[in-house]
Structure 1
Amino acid sequence: MIKTLIFDFGDVFINLDKQGAITNALNLFEIETFPEELTAINSLYEQGLISTNEFLEFYQDNFPALDKSSILDAWNCILKDFPSHRLEFIQQLKNDKQYNLILLSNTNELHIEWIKNEIRFYEDFKNCFNKFYLSHEINLRKPDTAIYDFVLKENNLAPETCLFIDDLKENTDSAALLGINTWNINPETDDVTQLFITNKHLF
């Protein structure tokens, strides 16, 4: 029996434009592919292992033709709208008090600051969850299985009683290795509000 619902944030609740952000960054930085160094820095930043100032300084040092504002715009352009019906969905789940609700997101300080400023109901959304885990605050990042193990142990959860919802298959695959039930949501065709219809076999 499912007792705990663990949700990703991006492309589950808030819409993302991943391909648009990649294309924009490649054009802005005038590169054809992302070098490993950029990917590594982004990962460190998502884990909170470097500060926002260190992150921005790295990009300014490597792309001196760009000002801070251009770098910030490029970093945040992945973030789009947060449909209100998804807020209503999680609020209803909170009010029903039938499930333990956890958010588990790979994110970073700059993205969260943008969301706080642009999404007027962010605090209402956050308050729907029993626990709210952001990768840069807990220094762990999906798809490393350590992040799921952390959530399970901190909340004394049995993996078979949890359902984890994420848009990236590598993330749901790694969670499944620990025995957690998963739903690899497709942002193009699925909506989190369909949770109990799509996964009715688990409830």
Structure 2
Amino acid sequence: MIKNLLFDFGDIFINLDKSATLNTMKQFGLHQVTPEMNEINNQYEKGEISSIEFIAFYKSLFPRASEKDLEGAWNDIILDFPEYRLSFIEELTSKEEFNLFLLSNTNELHIKKVKENMNNARYDRFKKCFQKFYLSHEIGMRKPDHEIYKYVLKENNLKAEETLFIDDTPENIIAASALNIQTWNLEPGVDDVVDLFKNPIFSA
């Protein structure tokens, strides 16, 4: 029986354009993401480097781009947060049938952009829906590392088999499943989080 719902953020509640940053950066000479860039991005998502250090790294690679250009390109991935999804999670919270948690790989600049797009009042409404709101850059861990799932389970005294994790990234789903967490690999553009209770797990 599912008692706990653990949600991802991007492409679950807020819409993303995952190709936007690369497309924007092409004008500054970026043609592919290198292993070094991936490592820096992961460090930034875990809060191991500051926003200033993060932008400075890319500035050193693409000197034609200003700091403002680079921040804008990085944030181009962030789109809108539809009101119907906010209404969905608020209604789910009000029913008090499940323990609700958010677990997101994200970083300081993206959260700043999310708040700008949503406005602070809507962001606060969203955040208040969850018993705990875990952002990778605040807790120093990121998906799909097993430690982040174990951390959430242990801190909240949750049983893995009673927890459903909703995420759009297969690697994150595989990692959670390996720990016996129930999962839904939501496919953006096909599935929508508001259809959560059509998932067969709730009719089993």
Same fold (TM over 0.5): yes
d(CA) in 2 for partners of 1:95 and 1:143?
30
**CA distance in 2 between partners of 1:19 and 1:130 (Å):** 32
Q: Report the TM-score when normalising by structure 1.
A: 0.96
Whole-Å separation in 1 of the counterparts to 2:102 and 2:143: 13
Partner of 2:14: 14
2:181 is aligned to: 180
Corresponding residue number in structure 2 for 1:157: 158
**C-alpha distance in 1, partners of 2:99/2:135?**
17
Q: Which amino acid aligns with 2:22?
A: I
- Structure 2: give runs of 5+ residues left out of the alignment: none
SS at match of 2:84: helix
Q: Match for residue 190 of structure 2?
A: 189
Which AA in structure 2 matches 1:14?
Answer: I
Distance 2:62 2:31 in 1: 15
Question: In 2, distance between residues paired with 1:133 and 1:102?
Answer: 8
- Deviation of 1:200 after TM superposition, in Å, equals 4.3
Tell me the SS of whatever aligns to 1:172: helix
The answer as to whether partners of 1:17 and 1:77 remain within 8 angstroms in 2 is: yes
Alignment: residue pair count? 202
RMSD: 1.2
Corresponding residue of 1:58: 57
User: C-alpha distance in 2, partners of 1:5/1:56?
Assistant: 35
Matches within 5 A, 1:87-102: 87-102=86-101
Matched with 2:110 is 111
3-state SS of 1:9 partner? coil
**Unaligned regions of 5+ residues in structure 1, if any?**
none
Q: Distance in 2 between matches of 1:28 and 1:104?
A: 33
TM-fit CA distance, 1:202 = 5.6
Q: CA deviation at 1:70?
A: 0.5
Q: In the TM superposition, what is the alpha-carbon distance from 1:21 to its structure 2 partner?
A: 2.7
Per-residue deviation at 1:32? 2.3
